[in-house]
Protein backbone atom coordinates (compact mmCIF):
# COMPACT_ATOMS: atom_id res chain seq x y z
CA UNK A 1 0.00 0.00 0.00
CA UNK A 2 1.22 3.51 -0.85
CA UNK A 3 2.18 5.75 2.06
CA UNK A 4 0.70 8.73 0.21
CA UNK A 5 -2.41 10.22 1.82
CA UNK A 6 -5.59 10.07 -0.29
CA UNK A 7 -7.20 13.14 -1.83
CA UNK A 8 -8.04 15.85 0.70
CA UNK A 9 -11.40 17.63 0.70
CA UNK A 10 -11.95 21.11 2.14
CA UNK A 11 -15.27 22.65 3.18
CA UNK A 12 -15.56 26.23 4.48
CA UNK A 13 -11.80 26.40 4.85
CA UNK A 14 -11.54 23.27 6.98
CA UNK A 15 -10.24 19.88 5.94
CA UNK A 16 -12.87 17.12 5.96
CA UNK A 17 -11.59 14.16 8.04
CA UNK A 18 -10.89 10.99 6.11
CA UNK A 19 -13.33 8.97 8.23
CA UNK A 20 -16.20 11.47 7.94
CA UNK A 21 -19.15 10.17 5.89
CA UNK A 22 -20.80 12.08 3.03
CA UNK A 23 -24.51 12.29 2.30
CA UNK A 24 -24.00 10.33 -0.92
CA UNK A 25 -22.64 7.39 1.11
CA UNK A 26 -25.68 6.93 3.36
CA UNK A 27 -27.62 3.73 2.61
CA UNK A 28 -31.06 2.58 3.70
CA UNK A 29 -30.67 -0.25 6.18
CA UNK A 30 -32.37 -3.53 5.21
CA UNK A 31 -34.79 -5.52 7.34
CA UNK A 32 -33.42 -8.21 9.64
CA UNK A 33 -34.34 -11.86 9.94
CA UNK A 34 -33.27 -14.75 12.13
CA UNK A 35 -30.22 -16.59 10.82
CA UNK A 36 -30.32 -20.37 10.45
CA UNK A 37 -28.44 -22.27 13.15
CA UNK A 38 -26.19 -24.01 10.61
CA UNK A 39 -24.97 -20.55 9.56
CA UNK A 40 -24.16 -19.54 13.12
CA UNK A 41 -27.52 -18.28 14.34
CA UNK A 42 -28.26 -14.72 15.34
CA UNK A 43 -29.44 -12.10 12.85
CA UNK A 44 -29.01 -11.57 9.12
CA UNK A 45 -30.20 -9.14 6.46
CA UNK A 46 -33.16 -10.42 4.45
CA UNK A 47 -31.19 -9.68 1.28
CA UNK A 48 -27.76 -10.34 2.73
CA UNK A 49 -24.75 -10.43 0.43
CA UNK A 50 -22.20 -12.95 1.75
CA UNK A 51 -19.19 -10.93 0.59
CA UNK A 52 -20.22 -7.35 1.32
CA UNK A 53 -22.34 -7.54 4.47
CA UNK A 54 -20.11 -9.67 6.71
CA UNK A 55 -16.48 -9.68 7.76
CA UNK A 56 -15.11 -12.64 9.74
CA UNK A 57 -18.71 -13.71 10.26
CA UNK A 58 -19.80 -10.36 11.76
CA UNK A 59 -22.75 -8.48 10.23
CA UNK A 60 -21.90 -4.85 9.36
CA UNK A 61 -24.02 -1.76 8.82
CA UNK A 62 -24.43 -0.85 5.17
CA UNK A 63 -22.69 2.32 4.02
CA UNK A 64 -21.18 3.46 0.76
CA UNK A 65 -17.53 4.39 0.28
CA UNK A 66 -17.53 7.30 -2.16
CA UNK A 67 -15.66 10.19 -0.56
CA UNK A 68 -16.77 13.59 -1.81
CA UNK A 69 -20.27 12.45 -2.84
CA UNK A 70 -22.69 15.09 -1.54
CA UNK A 71 -22.03 16.98 1.67
CA UNK A 72 -19.78 15.89 4.57
CA UNK A 73 -21.37 14.82 7.86
CA UNK A 74 -18.69 15.90 10.29
CA UNK A 75 -20.41 14.59 13.42
CA UNK A 76 -20.54 10.99 12.18
CA UNK A 77 -18.19 8.24 10.94
CA UNK A 78 -18.03 6.23 7.72
CA UNK A 79 -17.94 2.57 8.81
CA UNK A 80 -15.81 1.13 5.96
CA UNK A 81 -13.15 3.84 6.25
CA UNK A 82 -13.07 3.61 10.04
CA UNK A 83 -12.45 -0.13 9.75
CA UNK A 84 -9.73 0.46 7.16
CA UNK A 85 -8.10 3.11 9.33
CA UNK A 86 -8.08 0.79 12.35
CA UNK A 87 -6.79 -2.19 10.38
CA UNK A 88 -3.99 -0.28 8.64
CA UNK A 89 -3.37 2.40 11.30
CA UNK A 90 -4.31 5.27 8.99
CA UNK A 91 -4.70 8.84 10.22
CA UNK A 92 -8.38 9.60 10.78
CA UNK A 93 -7.88 13.15 9.43
CA UNK A 94 -5.77 12.74 6.27
CA UNK A 95 -5.96 8.98 5.66
CA UNK A 96 -2.18 8.54 5.41
CA UNK A 97 -0.29 5.83 7.28
CA UNK A 98 0.78 6.54 10.86
CA UNK A 99 3.58 3.98 10.64
CA UNK A 100 7.09 5.33 10.38
CA UNK A 101 7.49 7.29 13.60
CA UNK A 102 10.98 7.05 15.08
CA UNK A 103 9.64 5.51 18.29
CA UNK A 104 7.23 3.22 16.36
CA UNK A 105 4.29 4.49 18.39
CA UNK A 106 0.92 5.83 17.22
CA UNK A 107 -0.79 8.97 18.50
CA UNK A 108 -4.38 8.66 19.73
CA UNK A 109 -6.60 11.61 20.63
CA UNK A 110 -9.79 10.70 22.52
CA UNK A 111 -12.60 13.14 23.24
CA UNK A 112 -15.01 10.83 25.09
CA UNK A 113 -13.05 10.42 28.34
CA UNK A 114 -14.03 13.81 29.80
CA UNK A 115 -10.47 14.67 30.77
CA UNK A 116 -9.39 11.49 32.52
CA UNK A 117 -6.11 9.94 31.31
CA UNK A 118 -5.99 7.16 28.75
CA UNK A 119 -5.37 3.97 30.73
CA UNK A 120 -3.71 0.69 29.78
CA UNK A 121 -6.15 -1.38 27.74
CA UNK A 122 -8.38 1.62 26.94
CA UNK A 123 -11.00 0.66 24.36
CA UNK A 124 -11.74 3.14 21.59
CA UNK A 125 -13.28 3.48 18.14
CA UNK A 126 -11.06 6.48 17.30
CA UNK A 127 -8.29 5.71 14.76
CA UNK A 128 -4.82 7.24 15.26
CA UNK A 129 -3.62 10.59 13.92
CA UNK A 130 -0.44 12.26 12.78
CA UNK A 131 0.74 14.83 15.32
CA UNK A 132 0.25 17.65 12.78
CA UNK A 133 -3.28 16.44 11.99
CA UNK A 134 -4.13 16.22 15.70
CA UNK A 135 -2.85 19.78 16.17
CA UNK A 136 -4.98 20.93 13.25
CA UNK A 137 -8.07 19.24 14.70
CA UNK A 138 -7.49 20.83 18.11
CA UNK A 139 -6.96 24.26 16.53
CA UNK A 140 -9.98 24.14 14.23
CA UNK A 141 -12.40 22.46 16.68
CA UNK A 142 -12.19 24.37 20.00
CA UNK A 143 -14.86 22.13 21.57
CA UNK A 144 -12.52 19.16 21.07
CA UNK A 145 -10.12 20.61 23.64
CA UNK A 146 -12.75 20.37 26.38
CA UNK A 147 -12.01 16.98 27.87
CA UNK A 148 -9.84 15.62 25.05
CA UNK A 149 -6.78 13.60 26.04
CA UNK A 150 -3.92 12.18 24.00
CA UNK A 151 -1.36 9.41 24.30
CA UNK A 152 1.35 7.76 22.23
CA UNK A 153 0.55 4.07 22.00
CA UNK A 154 2.90 1.16 21.38
CA UNK A 155 0.28 -1.38 20.31
CA UNK A 156 -3.38 -0.80 19.30
CA UNK A 157 -4.77 -4.36 19.52
CA UNK A 158 -8.00 -5.61 17.90
CA UNK A 159 -10.63 -5.99 20.63
CA UNK A 160 -14.12 -6.12 19.16
CA UNK A 161 -16.84 -3.98 17.64
CA UNK A 162 -19.21 -1.17 18.57
CA UNK A 163 -22.62 -2.12 17.27
CA UNK A 164 -26.38 -2.07 17.67
CA UNK A 165 -27.57 -5.07 19.65
CA UNK A 166 -30.92 -6.67 18.79
CA UNK A 167 -33.32 -8.60 20.99
CA UNK A 168 -32.96 -12.36 20.35
CA UNK A 169 -36.74 -12.84 20.60
CA UNK A 170 -38.19 -9.82 18.75
CA UNK A 171 -35.09 -8.69 16.77
CA UNK A 172 -35.89 -5.14 17.92
CA UNK A 173 -32.89 -2.85 18.45
CA UNK A 174 -31.60 -2.51 22.01
CA UNK A 175 -29.64 0.76 22.01
CA UNK A 176 -27.07 1.50 24.68
CA UNK A 177 -27.59 4.49 26.96
CA UNK A 178 -24.08 5.64 26.04
CA UNK A 179 -21.75 5.87 23.05
CA UNK A 180 -24.37 6.94 20.53
CA UNK A 181 -26.58 3.96 21.26
CA UNK A 182 -23.85 1.48 20.35
CA UNK A 183 -22.63 -1.31 22.61
CA UNK A 184 -18.98 -2.36 22.79
CA UNK A 185 -18.89 -6.13 22.18
CA UNK A 186 -15.61 -8.13 22.39
CA UNK A 187 -14.80 -10.71 19.72
CA UNK A 188 -15.13 -13.40 22.38
CA UNK A 189 -18.76 -12.57 23.22
CA UNK A 190 -21.74 -14.73 22.24
CA UNK A 191 -23.68 -11.48 21.72
CA UNK A 192 -21.84 -10.78 18.46
CA UNK A 193 -24.42 -12.82 16.51
CA UNK A 194 -27.15 -10.38 17.67
CA UNK A 195 -25.24 -7.22 16.72
CA UNK A 196 -25.02 -5.07 13.62
CA UNK A 197 -21.46 -3.75 13.81
CA UNK A 198 -20.84 -0.05 13.10
CA UNK A 199 -17.23 0.49 14.19
CA UNK A 200 -14.06 -1.43 14.99
CA UNK A 201 -12.78 -1.23 18.57
CA UNK A 202 -9.13 -1.51 19.57
CA UNK A 203 -7.48 -1.79 23.00
CA UNK A 204 -4.56 0.57 23.54
CA UNK A 205 -1.39 -0.96 25.03
CA UNK A 206 1.76 0.82 26.12
CA UNK A 207 0.24 4.28 26.61
CA UNK A 208 2.30 7.41 27.32
CA UNK A 209 0.28 10.62 27.96
CA UNK A 210 0.78 13.59 25.65
CA UNK A 211 -0.17 17.13 26.64
CA UNK A 212 -2.53 19.00 24.32
CA UNK A 213 -0.31 22.09 24.59
CA UNK A 214 2.51 20.03 23.08
CA UNK A 215 0.34 19.22 20.08
CA UNK A 216 -1.07 22.73 19.71
CA UNK A 217 2.48 24.09 19.63
CA UNK A 218 2.87 22.42 16.24
CA UNK A 219 0.42 24.94 14.75
CA UNK A 220 2.06 27.99 16.31
The predicted structure's pLDDT at residue 3: 66
Q: What b-and-e string marks burial along 183-199, b requiring 16 or more CB atoms within 10 Å of the CB? A: bbbeeeeeebbbbbbbb
Q: How far is Cα of residue 39 from the mean position of the Cα atoms in its chain? A: 27
Q: How far apart are CA 123 and CA 146, in angstroms?
A: 20
Question: For position 125, what pLDDT does the model report?
Answer: 97
Q: Are 32 and 163 in contact (CB under 8 A)?
A: no
Alpha-carbon distances of 150 from 6, 16, 90, 166, 191, rounded to whole Å: 24, 21, 17, 33, 31
Phi and psi dihedrals of 122, rounded to 5?
-50, 135
Each residue's pLDDT expressed in tens, for the chain with a length of 220 residues: 456 789 999 998 899 999 999 999 999 999 999 999 888 899 999 999 988 999 999 999 999 999 999 999 998 999 999 999 999 999 999 999 999 888 899 999 998 888 889 999 999 999 999 999 999 999 888 778 788 999 999 999 999 999 999 999 999 999 998 778 999 999 999 999 999 999 999 999 999 999 999 988 877 6
Angle, vertex CA 133, rays to CA 3 and CA 61, nearest 5: 75
Distances (CA, A) of 134 to 137, 154, 171: 5, 18, 40
pLDDT at 2: 55
For residue 1, the model assigns a pLDDT of 46
The pLDDT value given to residue 218: 79
| Whole-number Å distance between alpha carbons of 57 and 146 | 38
Who's near 50: CB < 8 A, 6+ residues apart?
A: none
Amino acid sequence: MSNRAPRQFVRQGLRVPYIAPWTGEIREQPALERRHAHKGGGIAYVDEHPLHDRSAGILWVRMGAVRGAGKPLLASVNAPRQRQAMDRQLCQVCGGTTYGAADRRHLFLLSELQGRPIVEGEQTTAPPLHESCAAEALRDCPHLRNGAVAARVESPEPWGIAGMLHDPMTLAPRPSAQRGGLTFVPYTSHRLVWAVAHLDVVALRGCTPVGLDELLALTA
